[in-house]
């Protein structure tokens, strides 16, 4: 699916704001019949443009008030090292995101912890044991200024 028309874009924008919006309300707001709107949503799901639905949680409310970004430099950038690192990172429940990067380091991780003491545990027991790691550089977020989950369409 290469082209999104104005109805698709409207549907996607509204669902990014509220994925629990009833189909009848969604259809009314985009100017389609409920059945036509539902078919479009199902098509957007089938082709993978809508990848899934989630509940966005408040980190402090679930005991994860501190966000930490970790720059990871590996000892080697060979395929075996990259694969081993990525598999181990994916298996670590404290890692919320792992991005392969260009530039001065290889990966950027994002973790959320209750505070600095718990980050020390994560660092010692999980991050420092990831395979092929040469260097970890951690920075704590002081305050989130902008955080979006919706893409401009």
Across all residues in the chain, what is the average pLDDT? Answer: 96
Residue span of the structural domain in which 42 resides: 6-46
How do strand 66-74 and strand 95-100 relate by DSSP bridges?
unpaired
CATH number at residue 122: 3.30.70.920
pLDDT category at 2 given cuts 50, 70, 90 is low
Per the listing, tokens 């395929």 go with 79
4: DSSP letter? -
Asked whether residue 52 is assigned to any structural domain, the reply reads no
In this model, does residue 33 exceed pLDDT 70?
yes
Residues 66 and 131 both lie in one domain: yes
CATH number at residue 18: 1.10.10.10
In this model, does residue 1 exceed pLDDT 90?
no
Asked whether residue 87 is assigned to any structural domain, the reply reads yes
- The predicted model scores a pTM of 0.89
Spell out the residues 6+ positions from residue 126 whose beta carbon is closer than 8 angstroms to its own: 92, 94, 95
Percent of the chain with pLDDT strictly greater than 90: 98
- pLDDT tens figures, 59-117: 999 999 999 999 999 999 999 999 999 999 999 999 999 999 999 999 999 999 999 99
Angle, CA 28 vertex, CA 36 and CA 5 arms, to 5°: 55
Asked whether residue 105 is assigned to any structural domain, the reply reads yes
Q: What DSSP string describes 34-66?
A: HHHHHHHHHHHHHTTSS----PPP-TGGGT--E
């Amino acid at each position: 699916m290469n082209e999104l028309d104005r109805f698709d874009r409207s549907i996607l924008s509204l669902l990014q704001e509220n994925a629990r919006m009833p189909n009848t309300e969604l259809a009314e707001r985009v100017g389609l019949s409920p059945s036509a709107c539902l078919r479009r949503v199902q098509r957007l799901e089938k082709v993978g443009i809508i990848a899934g639905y989630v509940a966005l949680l408040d980190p402090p409310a679930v005991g994860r008030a501190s966000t930490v970004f970790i720059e990871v430099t590996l000892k080697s950038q060979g395929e075996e090292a990259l694969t081993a690192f990525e598999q181990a990172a994916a298996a670590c429940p404290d890692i919320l995101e792992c991005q392969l990067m260009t530039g001065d380091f290889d990966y950027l991780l994002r973790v959320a912890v209750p505070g600095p003491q718990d980050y020390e545990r994560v660092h010692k027991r999980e991050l420092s044991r990831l395979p092929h790691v040469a260097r970890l550089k951690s920075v704590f977020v002081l305050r989130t200024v902008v955080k979006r989950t919706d893409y401009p369409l």
